[in-house]
Amino acid sequence: MGLVGRDDALRSQVLQHPLVCVIRRADRFDRRRLLLVTQPLAATLSGVLALVTAFDLATAPLVISFGLAQGVVTAFSTPAATRLSSPRSSRVRPPILTSGFGIVSVRRTGEVRRVTALDWPHPVQQPLGPHIDAWFARQRWLAAHRDGEALQGAVLVLAADVVQEQLGAPGAEDPAHLVLRQQVGLRRVVEADTATAALTGACDGRLPVGTLVAAVREVLGEVPDGLLDEVRHLVEVGVLDPPV
């Protein structure tokens, strides 16, 4: 973090401000085309740096070099975007491309290639690294427990940070709204029904899933057909954890 902070200050003082002054005086540039070039380039630089970091290849000179390159790109794109969005501009303002912050994590599994993309507008708890590693570990566990018999024989534990929230009329048999909420990491919120919440709460690492499903069926009289699929989903998102 210290290198990144120093790098941001360096590129701001050494590159960005002088270049911004130059670009502001250079009206001969087509600002729309300039943004069409600089914004994808900025996103590409961020993606490459994320991959370098994921493979543990990042070094101090490399991080500083990427930061300086981002400074040059920003020095060109910032004044162009400002002038295009200015109300004094008489030209029709086209949509401005932007790039946002994200995380790219890659793992070699030797299995069928899979890409999971999340658009996550909600607050998260940093650092996310341990939670992302745990997500990959759970994917490996789920791959080894694909069939229903293996899953029913597994013993699961409710994550320590998960809480239950429910709304409903006083005395009602089933709540009108019931969710399971994570307090750490991505802070996911999973909607659940009474059977799912009952099974989740009973996962204390002592009894297998199949036994718990039978117990819930005995208490409630029936359980949803997709309850095991819901258990898989809860494991995937980290509400339920497989044994360590």
Q: Determine contact, residues 189/237, Cβ cutoff 8 Å.
A: no
69: amino acid identity, one letter: A
- Residue 4 is predicted with a pLDDT of 42
In a domain, residue 105? The reply is no
- Distance set, CA 148 to CA 110, 154, 174, 229, 240 (Å): 23, 10, 28, 9, 16
In a domain, residue 124? The reply is no
Total domains in the fold of the chain:
2
Residues facing residue 241 across a β-bridge: 157
Contacts 24+ apart (CB under 8 A), 19-23: 19/72, 19/75, 19/76, 20/75, 20/78, 20/79, 23/75, 23/76, 23/79, 23/80
Q: Is 124 helix (H, G, I), strand (E, B) or coil?
A: coil
pLDDT of 203 strictly over 60: yes
In a domain, residue 111? The reply is no
Range of the domain at 67: 2-85
- Residue 216 is predicted with a pLDDT of 92
Mean of the per-residue pLDDT values of the chain: 78
By the 10 Å C-beta count (0-12 exposed, 13-18 middle, 19+ buried), 157 is classed as middle
Question: What pTM value is reported for the model?
Answer: 0.58
d(CA 186, CA 85): 34
pLDDT of 99 strictly over 70: no
In a domain, residue 53? The reply is yes
Angle between helices 194-202 and 209-220 (to 10 degrees): 140
In a shared domain, residues 195 and 138: yes
Show the tokens assigned to 221. Answer: 């009289």
Render pLDDT for 67-97 as a digit per residue (tens, 0 to 9). Answer: 777 777 777 777 666 666 655 544 555 555 5
In a domain, residue 112? The reply is no
How many CB atoms sit inside 10 A of residue 141's CB? 16
Confidence of residue 15 (pLDDT cuts 50, 70, 90): very low
**182-196 mean pLDDT:** 91
In a domain, residue 91? The reply is no
- Residue 118 is predicted with a pLDDT of 78
Domain with residue 197: its CATH number is 3.30.390
CA dihedral angle for residue 169, residue 172, residue 178, residue 181, rounded to 10 degrees:
80
Helix (H) or strand (E) holding 166: strand 163-167
Among 75, 86, 87, 71, smallest CA distance to 34 is for 75
In a shared domain, residues 81 and 136: no
Show the tokens assigned to 139. Answer: 């994917």
Q: Determine contact, residues 22/80, Cβ cutoff 8 Å.
A: no
In a domain, residue 107? The reply is no
Q: Determine contact, residues 96/35, Cβ cutoff 8 Å.
A: yes
Residues facing residue 243 across a β-bridge: none
